[in-house]
Amino acid sequence: NELYVDDPDKDSGGKIEVNLNISLPNLHCELVGLDIQDEMGRHEVGHIDNSMKIPLNNGDGCRFEGHFSINKVPGNFHVSTHSATAQPQNPDMTHIIHKLSFGDKLQVHNVHGAFNALEGADKLSSNPLASHDYILKIVPTVYEDMSGKQRYSYQYTVANKEYVAYSHTGRIIPAIWFRYDLSPITVKYTERRQPLYRFITSICAIIGGTFTVAGILDSCIFTASEAWKKIQLGKMQ
């Protein structure tokens, strides 16, 4: 692995793919919406492309699954009731995050990292009227296999806080915010085969170690045998 300063996926058009899967067990699906904002001027309320809402608890709750893209600039996306035609009196934003990931999915056993750091985040015991801020620092990650094929994913660190936010009219309108910024450092993992000479060296080391241990054991057994013979001769005399 190595670290360097670069934007690795230059063919992405300055976009990052996001996968979000979150359950709000106490909020109706018709109230749930996704809003996206960033420093390039994007301000999208009620994003619906490639998203799905699944009713929970006999329609009292909702599971939101979304696949969307964000620009490679600081910004945020948030789950809220902002896009609803009528705002509820007491919105309940308690939730569980099942998945939040960026870029390609990496299924590589020897690569460990924070690719889904918010998996299992449980806020069901929080204040129902509280807003939740998840502050993310996104780190570009490249995995190159032995054929030279590269996959572009993103790890991230997260900090969070809860607070009650009031609108200018005095109403409480909670939301689940994901505020992100990108690290200029890229992490790259490169898959390589070990060279043949390293394999031969390892075999020689194993064989040499085996002969050394065998020699030590043989010497110990011989010494013990000689000592035992001397003891027996002493008894006979």
Q: Among 96-100, 151-155, 190-194, 213-217, which stretch is predicted with the lowest mean pLDDT? A: 190-194
Q: Are residues 184 and 209 in the same domain?
A: no
What are the tens digits of pLDDT across the range 145-165? 888 888 999 999 999 999 998
Q: Average model confidence (pLDDT) for the chain? A: 89
- Let me know whether 177 and 209 are in one domain: no
Same domain, 93 and 1: yes
Provide the number of structural domains found in the chain: 2
> Is the pLDDT confidence value at 196 over 80?
no
Q: Say yes or no: 120 and 3 in one domain.
A: yes
Residue 2 contacts by C-beta under 8 Å, 6 or more apart in sequence? 187, 188, 190
Residue 174's contacts (CB-CB under 8 Å, 6 or more residues apart) are: 80, 91, 93, 128, 129, 130, 131, 132, 164, 165
Q: Which pLDDT does position 235 carry in this prediction?
A: 59
Exposure b/e, 190-210, CB count within 10 A at least 16 = b = eeeeeeeeeeeeeeeeeeeee
Lowest mean pLDDT among 15-29, 131-145, 219-233: 219-233
Domain co-membership, 146 together with 174: yes
Transcribe 156-202 into DSSP letters: EEEEEEEE--B-TTS-B--EEEEEEEE-SEEEEEE--PPPHHHHHHH
Per-residue pLDDT reduced to its tens digit, 161-178: 999 988 777 788 899 999
Closest CA to 145 of 111, 184, 117: 111
204 and 119 within one domain: no
Amino acid, single-letter form, for residue 34:
L
Q: Are residues 230 and 200 both part of a single domain?
A: yes
Q: Do 10 and 114 have their domain in common?
A: yes
User: Are the CB atoms for 112 and 62 separated by under 8 Å?
Assistant: no
Domain span at 32 = 1-188
Q: Are residues 145 and 230 in the same domain?
A: no
Question: Does 10 share its domain with 45?
Answer: yes
Q: Is the pTM of this model over 0.95?
A: no
Q: Are residues 135 and 180 in the same domain?
A: yes
What is the C-alpha to C-alpha distance for residues 62 and 64, in angstroms, rounded to an integer?
Answer: 6
- 70-118: per-residue pLDDT in tens? 999 999 999 999 999 888 888 999 999 999 999 998 777 677 779 999 9
Question: Same domain, yes or no, for 120 and 221?
Answer: no
Question: pLDDT at residue 236 above 60?
Answer: no
